[in-house]
Structure formats: structure tokens, C-alpha cells
Amino acid sequence: MGAHRKGDPVANRAPSASATASSDPGRAPCVPARAAFPAAPPAPAAGGRDRYFDVLRALALVRVVAYHVFGWPWAGLLFPSMGVMFGLAGTLMARSLGSRPAPAVIRGRLRRLLPPFWCWGLFVVGAMLVRGWMPGWQIVFWIVPLGDPPGSAWGEQAWEILWYLRTYLWFVLLSPLLLRLFRLAPVPVLLLSLAPVLVLGYVRQPPENRFGTGLLDLATYLFCWMLGFAHRDGVLARLKPAAVVALSLAALSCGAWYAFTHQAEYGTYDLDDIPLAQAFWSAGFVTLLMYSRTRLGPGLAALARCRPLDRLVTVFNARAVTIYLWHELALVLAVPLIDRFWEVPAFAAHLPLGSQSFLLGVGWALVAVFVLLFGWVEDTAARRRPRLLP
């Protein structure tokens, strides 16, 4: 495994931030919001799921894997996967906090997240130890990733995606306080949630260490998480369409302007490398997606008529953590596997072994293998009967 910066593609060893695993796969049916916030968007029927959000989560995962193969700098502009995932997770967190005590909700999130992480970590940490890596006290972050787990440069491409789990975990821990603060003055607090990334971008740069990196990631996606609260409590649905569209377009414009006018400073317009641009572009994009849920969500009921596609969305959502954690390893292992294909004359003559598209296909095939081998851990963590496929 070669060194791999946050957000980078496999082939070019560029950044690897996108990413994304579902923040809360396999959740229970929707629970009504607190009586103080009765205008929440209509929930799915009892026993059902919000298919609109399920499709968004699946698209986010597909985009993450494709980005890590092709490294398209425009991928984040087309679909900001991480912003979408944090927005969906914020909605689910607000729903849970509205029906259960905060300690129980936090324990449930930890229970769902940590066993798949430990299962994956056994292989990654074991491989790095075999290669001569020796960790310090930071090895504790391989137990609970409140900070970036340490790792060797050789295995960086595999472990660097853990920034998402670390950021998600901190949002979960902070959510009882954030939700209480949000409900004091929903719209002002939502708008002010963009202030931290502005402060870190223009007033005081975060330190270049684990704490600074974690703080910057929290600031970058804070608005999207709080937007999930706004959606769940019905605050977003009560806003006038003209106001939502105008503010969203303003945020999108700010994000795009900052990305393209700072290309020389960052060497790219890739949002994964530019936190301030990522924060504003994701804010505008995810706001439009969330606000469109009541209009576009019912249309996705047609998805059930296409059983294979509907089944695929179900699998992606129930195995989202597994897909996110194992996809980089799958892409790493796809390279030597394709090298073996070159030794077969028929494969070398008729298969596009040198193309990135073929690498993507082999990578997804290996992801499917990992889902079959280790996806059941997500069932166990969620206290469901283990299955090969949900």
C-alpha cells in the first residue's frame, strides 16, 4: 500500500476524503418528532424506510468509490458525498434523540459503528505490524477513533479514510448539546453554523496536528449536520421556497467562487482539498436535496418496481459501513490481481486491463466479496440476525 492523501484516487495517489460510509445504515422505522415541532416532513409508513434518503446514501457511496479510482476534481461539485452523508446522519440523530435518552442513543451509535471498524482494523493493523510498523500510545484510537488512528505510510491509503468515522463520532457525542442549541433559535443557529469554518479560514488557522485536522473537519460539515436537525424538526419544510433557493444558490456561488479563485493556492479546485469551498458548496447542495425531499421522495416509490435496483439500494444501505471501510482495500488489491490477468494471453488480448474503468469493475467485485465475508458484522452490531445479504 502506498501513501495516500485525503481524497486521492488509487492510481494517482491523490487525496482520499470523500468518502463515505453510511452514518447509520439499517435504522429502525421513523419515530414522530417531539410535539414542540409538529411540522416535520411526512415519515415513511410504519415498517418502511425513507427511500429518498436511501438512494442518496447509495449514490454517495458509488461516487466515493468512483472518485478514488478516477480522481475527478469535479466529482465533489457534481455530488458532494460527504456533505450528503453528514446531512442524512444529522436527520437520523435528531429522530433518535426525539424518542430515546441521549446516553442510550450514543451507546447505540457506538455499538453499530465500532464492531465493523474493529473487524476491518484487525486486518489493517495486522498487515502494518507484519511490515514492521510499531505504534505508540495513539493505538488507543484503533479502539475508539476519537482521534486519527496511527498507521504506517505503507498502509496510509487504507487507514486515511478514517477521518470520516472520527468526525461522525464527534458529531454523535456533541449532538445532544447541538440539538438543544439548535432548538433555541433554529434558523439563526443553522446559519451561524457556517461561522466556525469562516473563522478557521480567515481569522485563525487551526494547528497542523490531529486536533487541528479534527476541528477543521467538524467545522466544514457542521452546517450539513445541523441541516439534518432542521429537516427532521420540520424547520426546513416551513421555509418559503424562494428563500431556500436564494440562500442555497448564494452558498453554492460562494463555494464555487472560493474553489476556482484559490486554485493557485491549493493546486486544484477539488473541494476535498479546500475546506471553506467544501463547506459552502455542500451547504447549498444538501439544502436543496433536503428541501426537495417532500417533492421528489414519493417519486422514488417507482424504484420498488425495478426489483434488482431496489434490492441493490437495500444492500448498499444495510452494508454501508462495510462498503466504506473495505472499498480502499478492494481497490488496492485490484491492482496486483489485474497484473496477474496480463499473464493470460486471452485476457491481455481482449480485456481493457490498462483502463481505470476495468480497475473500478474489479474493485467493485472485490467489495462484493468483502460484503459477503464481513457484512454480517453490521447485522451483529445492530442486533439483527446475521445474513450474507440483507
- pLDDT, tens digit, 9 for 90 and up, residues 186-205: 999 999 999 999 999 999 88
Q: Is the pLDDT of residue 150 over 90?
A: yes
| Euclidean distance between CA atoms 349 and 351, whole angstroms | 6
Cβ neighbours around 83 below 10 Å, total: 29
Which pLDDT score is estimated for 48?
Answer: 52
SS3 151: coil
Q: Is residue 224 within 8 Å of residue 90, measured between CB atoms?
A: yes
Bridge partner residues of 6 (DSSP) = 16
Confidence (pLDDT) at 142: 97
Q: Is the dihedral of CA 232, 243, 59, 42 positive or negative?
A: positive
Q: Which three cell numbers stand for residue 60?
A: 454517495
Q: How far apart are the C-alpha atoms of 159 and 163, rounded to whole Å?
A: 9
> Rounded distance, CA 175 to CA 155, Å?
32
List residues bridging with 16 in a β-sheet: 6
| Best CA proximity match to 224, nearest among 286, 163, 276 | 286
Percent of the chain with pLDDT over 70: 86
Q: What is the pTM of this model?
A: 0.87
The C-alpha atoms of residue 232 and residue 290 are separated, in whole angstroms, by: 10
Whole-number pLDDT of residue 302: 72
Closest by Cα among 64, 81, 77 to 258? 77
Q: Reply yes or no on whether the pLDDT at 347 is more than 50.
A: yes
User: For 13-17, 224-228, 254-258, which range has the lowest pLDDT when averaged over its residues?
Assistant: 13-17
Pick from 44-48, 150-154, 168-172, 252-256: least confident: 44-48
Of the pLDDT bands very low, low, confident and very high (cuts 50, 70, 90), residue 313 is very high
CB-side neighbour CA atoms (13 Å) of 310: 11
Q: Is 196 exposed, middle or buried (0-12, 13-18, 19+ CB in 10 A)?
A: middle
Nearest 10 degrees: Cα torsion 177, 179, 184, 185: 130
Is residue 36 pLDDT above 70, yes or no?
no
Q: What is the pLDDT of residue 301?
A: 65
Query: How many whole angstroms separate alpha carbon 333 and alpha carbon 123?
Result: 13
The Cα 231–Cα 94 span in angstroms is: 9
